[in-house]
Amino acid sequence: MKSKVYYTREITPESLIKIYEALGVDLPGKVGVKVSTGEDGAKGYLKAELIGPFVKKLKGTILECNTAYPGARTNADDHMKVAEKHGFTSFAKVDIMDAEGDFEIPVKNGKYLKYDIVGKNLKNYDSFVNLAHGKGHIMGGFGANLKNQSIGIASRRGKAYIHSCGKTDDPDKCWSSKHEQVEFIESMAEAATAVADYLKEQGKPIVYITVMNYLAVDCDCDYKQGDPVMEDLGIVASLDPVANDQAFIDMIWNSDDPGAEKLKERIDSREGRAILPYAESLGLGSREYELVEI
């Protein structure tokens, strides 16, 4: 059965709220909104003026975890300063979920990961929005909902564990781990599936939205992030993260924008598209979708 992916070409505060409402899901209780706060120096992170009204409408809390790589967001105090600098604290509370620790959740049928390590405060929320910025990524090829749910929700130790394909949870050692690139891509799929399974078992709903603007080849985690290489594509939303990511990829591949070739090269040079069939094989979602334009 095809998953529904809602799509709007408009990227405005109003269209973001409208596409969420099209999903027809009521998010109960305390709502966590997982979004990248962006590395200090990056330019493409989702801006307060775009997402603020939506997060306020949900009475949501911005969720983040510290980075495994050295930078301005490796600890909660510095991370919070970046979040404030980038405007996130102007419209919502910000929770660095691994500030006071983390916990393990099961990975079922994983080839690489025995478990996923996520921020301790994930437990404190009743429902979730995976609000991703679609763009390229220096290691993953591209970043959207699947990356935001794997690397993004993983604690600092968890990020190291995913990056090393289950060999170490030490951020100082994970970068020297030896593995094939596709194994890292598939490890991200395992972690994203573990989060979805955990939330389902807890009875906690999650919805998936990707804003496809500022389409640079590098991620918001890169302090030297360059300019966009192609025109904005719009916003997609779904209850299926695989379908939502597949729709994003298809829009890049179907684009006649000359800059799309640069994104394609980045994605395929990092085996980025391999995350989609593997996530589908794990039961996270479907690559078959029906696009519903609103």
What is the predicted pLDDT for the residue at 220? 85
Give the Cα separation of 76 and 54 in Å (integer).
25
What is the predicted pLDDT for the residue at 172? 92
Alpha helices in 23-73 (DSSP H): 48-57
What is the predicted pLDDT for the residue at 71? 83
What is the predicted pLDDT for the residue at 96? 98
What is the predicted pLDDT for the residue at 224? 84
Amino acid at 13: P
SS3 of 206, please?
strand
Give the Cα separation of 48 and 157 in Å (integer).
28
What is the predicted pLDDT for the residue at 221? 86
DSSP strands (E only) in 1-119: 3-8, 31-34, 61-64, 94-96, 102-106, 115-119
User: Is the Cβ–Cβ distance between 114 and 82 less than 8 Å?
Assistant: no
pTM over 0.85: yes
What is the predicted pLDDT for the residue at 38? 95
SS3 of 157, please?
helix
Domains contained in the chain, CATH given: 3-293 (3.40.50)
Alpha helices in the chain (DSSP H): 13-22, 48-57, 76-85, 145-150, 156-163, 181-201, 241-253, 260-269, 275-281
List of the chain residues with pLDDT < 50: none
What is the predicted pLDDT for the residue at 70? 85
User: Is the Cβ–Cβ distance between 72 and 78 less than 8 Å?
Assistant: yes
Q: Which helix (H) or strand (E) holds 142?
A: strand 141-143
